[in-house]
């Protein structure tokens, strides 16, 4: 007599359940997480093309629990800073089931506009014990997390993949402002954002393979990277069974479309749009010349369990400056009306831009995309500084909002402070 094979019992013996297999994408489309077809589109676009390609050539203890993992530049073909120098990723062990992947900020660089961090070692930890880096604070929701930290040095907000032959770049590197040794100055800008990001994500998976709660976060330029391709790489590496969250700390993503020369230069120099999934392009959400919030919309539409948080001040002086820049091209800033004292965006139009773009994301997915918008404040970023414990909207403190974001608590609300004019500058 033939015995009946009990699939459920056999899987249980092996340490699996039918539910876990479904969550991992076996036996049909996964019921939660990133849709299978969407994942296929991302692979077709090459978002994951660099995963598994690069391994660290060294790992060393740099103090306070941090380890530095350095990569071979492979003459610019590997993980590389914009200046052609070495890229490194850092890890710090905590609870192996909870992982924070933090992408650092540091401006942006494109043709004739060089305002980005260019060396990985300029941002090496250990960081000062402020904000999320205060591991001894009982009010820090990330205090017990394992951490992967990526310095930012690619100039293309962790999304570029292109070489730019730019003699003006070599002159800039040799200038007194930068002071790179002459032997290191060269005319190629290595926009290696996706390679650097992928190498760091591989380190995350190799170092903390058993994470079940993963938060991808970033500040400023790192916030743009965290809100663009990084969550997709986390899904490729960790699958749908992890609880995946995204925290964008003042990486606006929304751009000033009137600064047409700058928009075109970033597209040309960084070549980030090649990684947009086809349906996002077909639906009109993803467009190199349009608003880059479209990739967030597409992700929320196609990843049923991801949750995302966005922090910003509506008079953010740094982001207003970058949004106003129209280099190369004339005028150099937009709007530009010297006769009336207008030199770039001000608080009101910047607030309108941010509220419109990120408000649309909240409107489409109110339970999974929420904002913490402070008014009348020109500060930039909060996760890595004292503001993390003092910034408030409607009586809710940012660190408490973040804690409830991670746990789906009652304080994770969509918070947009009523308009408060920025105080005039002191005489």
The fold adopted by the segment(s) 32-416 is Rossmann fold (3.40.50)
pLDDT for residue 70: 98
The pLDDT of residue 31: 61
* pLDDT given at position 287: 95
Region(s) of the chain under CATH 3.40.50: 32-416
Number of Cβ atoms within 10 Å of the Cβ of 336:
14
Q: What is the pLDDT along the chain (427 residues), one digit of tens a residue?
A: 333 334 333 433 344 444 444 444 443 344 699 999 999 999 999 999 999 999 999 999 999 999 999 999 999 999 999 999 999 999 999 999 999 999 999 999 999 999 999 999 999 999 999 999 999 999 999 999 999 999 999 999 999 999 999 999 999 998 878 877 777 788 999 999 999 999 999 999 999 999 999 999 999 999 999 999 999 999 999 999 999 999 999 999 999 999 999 999 999 999 999 999 999 999 999 999 999 999 999 999 999 999 999 999 999 999 999 999 999 999 999 999 999 999 999 999 999 999 999 999 999 999 999 999 999 999 999 999 999 999 999 999 999 999 999 999 999 999 999 999 998 777 6
pLDDT given for residue 372 in this prediction: 98
Burial of 62 (0-12, 13-18, 19+ CB in 10 A): middle
Q: Using the 8-state DSSP alphabet, how is residue 313 labeled?
A: E
Calculate helix-pair angle for 36-45, 230-238, nearest 10 degrees: 120
Instruction: Enter the pTM of the model.
Output: 0.92
Q: Are strands 95-103 and 162-165 parallel, antiparallel or unpaired?
A: unpaired
pLDDT score at 355: 98
The pLDDT, as a whole number, for residue 185 is: 82
Q: Whole-angstrom Cα distance, residue 308 to residue 358?
A: 11
3-class DSSP assignment, residue 361: helix
β-partners of residue 337 are: 342
Residue 169 confidence (pLDDT): 95
pLDDT in the model for residue 30: 47
């Amino acid at each position: 007599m033939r015995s009946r094979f009990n699939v459920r019992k056999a899987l249980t013996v092996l340490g699996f359940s039918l539910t876990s297999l479904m969550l991992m994408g076996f036996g049909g489309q996964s019921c939660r997480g990133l849709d299978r077809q969407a994942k296929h589109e991302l692979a077709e676009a090459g978002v994951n093309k660099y995963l598994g390609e690069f391994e660290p050539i060294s790992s060393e203890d740099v103090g306070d629990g941090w380890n530095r993992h350095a990569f071979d530049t492979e003459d610019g073909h590997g993980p590389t800073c914009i200046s052609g120098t070495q890229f490194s990723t850092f890890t710090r062990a905590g609870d192996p089931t909870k992982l924070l992947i933090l992408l650092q900020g540091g401006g942006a660089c494109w043709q004739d506009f060089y305002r980005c961090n260019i060396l990985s070692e300029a941002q090496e930890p250990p960081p000062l014990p402020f904000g999320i880096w205060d591991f001894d604070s009982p009010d820090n929701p990330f205090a017990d997390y394992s951490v992967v930290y990526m310095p930012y040095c690619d100039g293309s907000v962790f999304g570029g993949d292109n070489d730019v032959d730019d003699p003006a770049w070599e002159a800039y590197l040799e200038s007194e402002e930068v002071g790179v040794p002459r032997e290191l100055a060269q005319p190629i800008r290595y926009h290696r954002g996706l390679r650097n990001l992928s190498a760091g994500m591989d380190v995350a998976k190799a170092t903390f393979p058993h994470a079940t709660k993963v938060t991808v976060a970033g500040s400023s330029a790192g916030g743009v990277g965290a809100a663009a391709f990084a969550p997709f790489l986390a899904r490729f590496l960790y699958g749908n069974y992890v609880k995946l969250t995204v925290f964008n700390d003042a990486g606006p993503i929304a751009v000033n479309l009137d600064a047409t020369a700058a928009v075109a230069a970033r597209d040309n120099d960084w070549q980030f749009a090649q990684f947009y999934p086809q349906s996002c392009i077909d639906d009109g959400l993803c467009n190199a010349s349009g608003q880059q919030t479209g990739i967030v919309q597409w992700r929320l539409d196609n990843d049923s369990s991801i949750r995302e948080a966005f922090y910003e001040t509506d008079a953010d002086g740094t982001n207003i400056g970058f949004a106003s820049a129209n280099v190369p091209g004339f005028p150099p800033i937009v709007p530009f009306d010297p006769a009336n004292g207008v030199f770039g965006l001000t608080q009101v139009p910047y607030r309108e831009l941010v509220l419109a773009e990120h408000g649309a994301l909240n409107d489409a997915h109110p339970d999974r995309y929420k904002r913490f918008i402070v008014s009348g404040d020109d500060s930039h970023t909060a996760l890595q500084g004292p503001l993390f414990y003092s910034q408030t909207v409607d009586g809710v403190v940012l660190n408490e909002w973040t804690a409830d974001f991670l746990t789906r608590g009652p304080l994770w609300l969509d918070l947009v402070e009523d308009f408060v004019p920025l105080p005039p500058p002191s005489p």
